[in-house]
Structure 1
Amino acid sequence: MAEAIAPAELPTIFDASTCVRKGMCPVMALQGQEKTAMQSHSIYFEQHGTGPEKVVFIMGLNTSSFGWIYQVKHFAQTHSVLVMDNRGVGNSDTPKGPYTTSALSEDILTLLEYVGWNNGRELHIVGISLGGMIAQELALRIPERILSLTLVVTKAGSAGLVSNLTPWKGISSLVWLTFTTDDSKKMDIVLPMLYPEEWLDAKSTLPNAKGRTNREVVREGLAYRIKNTRKQTLAGSIAQTAAARSHHVTSDRLHKLGQSIPKIWIVTGDVDHLVKPVNSEFLHQHMPQAEYQVWKGVGHGIIGQEPEKFNKNLERVIREGREIGSKAPWV
């Protein structure tokens, strides 16, 4: 296994005391593909914790791995955690687009080989939004290595035209974000896109709330992330958006996936302005053995709106995945 490049200048918001390694995974070089100035790329990753269960967190559209701040802090204490910036965002390179969820999943598969997470059925894959789409493609490639699959506010892309359309509030927000350069104005657009207004205005119970509203707490956290994240290029944003738009996993492939993974958890909020909740219902219809939850009053930013609830449920899913996977026919 090659040694990771860990340049000190790459910023992070995660706890350095739990970090096992970080750096750049030379995806194209490891895949043995012809490299050109526009196509060759590496992806940034961090590995935290040394626990027995290996958890892979895959982030969504135009967002760096820093979006998993609550999850990395929690799970690094007892698990081994791997996060990465998908190509086109954060500290990862931005090769020529458009991208596909299939290609993005190949990046992560290469990363798993690079860090040595390739020892049989040992992985717990967690994907949110675009990350959930990538997770589907990844799981279809290596089902025999996965104990649990968590699909958060995501879609298969095959539920029909109306279901696949992004709600108007979401699409208009994404357009404004594409052409807005002022960070303060960006936050004014992002917050109501990800969270219900009623929740944003309520007194917060999030960590370090100190009597403030959820809007104030989340805005502070987002500002900190923006400050420590490399600016995404317009090309990267467009290329990632193309991957989300073109994602398509057929009903037959979903059925195959559902039968291949010991434990699957599908979760969504009922106030999602980016991915309609009906898409999660569609996933469950074609993977009926999966656990399916709809959280009331919760938006697309579910992992930040309900971090404690999400983390506790994911702990259970990981445990159940291990228990089910230890029995026939999964052994």
Structure 2
Amino acid sequence: MPAQEVAADQGCGFFTTTPVKVGHCPIKDYSLNYEIHGTGPIKVMCVMGFMASMAGWSEVLNYFLKGYDFKKEASDFQFLVFDNRGIGHSTNGSFGFYSTSGMALDAAKLLEHVGWTEERSVHLCGISMGGMISLELASLIPTRFRSLNLLVTCAKHRPPPNHRFTSEKTILKPTKTVDDKVAGLVSLVFSDQEWLDSADERYPEFKTNRERISAGLKNRMEKTKVPGLKTLFGQGMAVRRHNVSKERLVAIGKEIPDIIALSATADVMIDPECTTYLGQTIPCKTVFFTSKGHNIICEAELETCRELEANFANGEKRWAK
């Protein structure tokens, strides 16, 4: 085992699935912390969004590796999840502007590091800023991917017109306690109050989804370092400067036929019209979840995972050897 890798039981501990491989991929003067979950033949790389750790993929890993009811006995999948530079257990590197194209190069190096290098061997899935990085990665090495799955993202950053500075105000607002910070984050990425106040029978220890989500966010904050201004500035500039041209979007669509773009009508971070644009320009299938917010992985968990599952299947059928 290479020196930069550690035993699987030393993973971040965010997931109910056990990683089969854990490590750090060295890149210049920083490194990416990653985990691989599952041992099936179908490979999926997941790219997380702005200022968020790999823990955000928990529901997706559960669905594909354990089943929605946690009763699955075997799975055909393996998932590569990682912390973008400056987040979780990854490091920052030198201070300066980040870019989504530069972070896509990070992800490409990680694919090489773990040996996922064969043509048409990987399904790519990215959410929010992770979707922006995924578009850049799909433009960089399109023939590596069997499908492209874009969640609440855009070709060029654009918040909803009536929420132009909502995310900045929430993220930069000083908070006295961890509970205050968690409450602010919940209000930012979740919009369906009925769902937040309802219970999920799969988690009987929590009275509501709000209680469950809040407990999960607090757990993540306790297990990882607080991202500093370097990360906030770097990733923030990457989002602000992100721009994938119409010509590149069309080229991606020609290289990767199986693409979906999922959005939420009540998202206050990314304008749902960005997904409409992706669908018309690439072109690709689009799905809009009514009354849901930015974190569709949780608020529309079953619907999102079923869309991913269907698109993975399309890619598998198309590129089966």
TM-score between the two structures when normalised by the length of structure 1: 0.87
Does the Cα contact within 8 Å between 2:167 and 2:269 map onto a contact in 1? no
Q: 2:5 aligned with 1:11, yes or no?
A: no
Does the Cα contact within 8 Å between 1:50 and 1:76 map onto a contact in 2? no
For 2:184, the equivalent position in structure 1 comes to 189
Q: How does 1:114-263 map to 2 (within 5 A)?
A: 114-157=113-156, 164-165=158-159, 169=163, 171-181=165-175, 182-205=177-200, 207-209=202-204, 212-263=207-258
Q: Give the unaligned 5+ runs of structure 2.
A: 67-74
For 1:42, the equivalent position in structure 2 comes to 31
Q: What fraction of aligned residue pairs are identical, expressed as a percent?
A: 32
Once the 2 structures are TM-superposed, how far is the Cα of residue 197 of structure 1 from its aligned partner? Answer: 4.9
For the residue of structure 1 that corresponds to 2:146, the secondary structure is: strand
For 2:62, the equivalent position in structure 1 comes to 73
Q: Report the AA paired with residue 12 of structure 1.
A: G
Whole-angstrom distance in 1 between the partners of 2:206 and 2:231: 38
For the residue of structure 1 that corresponds to 2:123, the secondary structure is: strand
Whole-angstrom distance in 2 between the partners of 1:110 and 1:100: 15
RMSD value, Cα:
2.2
Once the 2 structures are TM-superposed, how far is the Cα of residue 90 of structure 1 from its aligned partner? Answer: 0.9
Whole-angstrom distance in 1 between the partners of 2:168 and 2:232: 10
Whole-angstrom distance in 1 between the partners of 2:192 and 2:311: 30
Does the Cα contact within 8 Å between 2:160 and 2:269 map onto a contact in 1? yes
CA 1:203/1:97 → structure 2, altered by over 3 Å: closer, same or farther?
same
For 2:85, the equivalent position in structure 1 comes to 87
For 2:69, the equivalent position in structure 1 comes to none
Q: Deviations over 1:205-230 (max 9, x none)?
A: 36305572222221122222222222
CA 1:171/1:204 → structure 2, altered by over 3 Å: closer, same or farther?
farther
Q: 2:296 aligned with 1:302, yes or no?
A: yes
Q: Give the unaligned 5+ runs of structure 1.
A: 29-39, 158-162
CA 1:309/1:200 → structure 2, altered by over 3 Å: closer, same or farther?
closer
Whole-angstrom distance in 2 between the partners of 1:93 and 1:123: 25
Q: Report the AA paired with residue 27 of structure 1.
A: I
Once the 2 structures are TM-superposed, how far is the Cα of residue 173 of structure 1 from its aligned partner? Answer: 4.1
CA 1:316/1:274 → structure 2, altered by over 3 Å: closer, same or farther?
same
Whole-angstrom distance in 1 between the partners of 2:139 and 2:4: 27
Whole-angstrom distance in 1 between the partners of 2:129 and 2:167: 17
CA 1:9/1:22 → structure 2, altered by over 3 Å: closer, same or farther?
closer
For the residue of structure 2 that corresponds to 1:26, the secondary structure is: strand
For the residue of structure 1 that corresponds to 2:50, the secondary structure is: coil
CA 1:13/1:211 → structure 2, altered by over 3 Å: closer, same or farther?
closer
Aligned residues: 309
Does the Cα contact within 8 Å between 1:60 and 1:127 map onto a contact in 2? yes
Q: Deviations over 1:28-59 (max 9, x none)?
A: 2xxxxxxxxxxx11110001111010000100
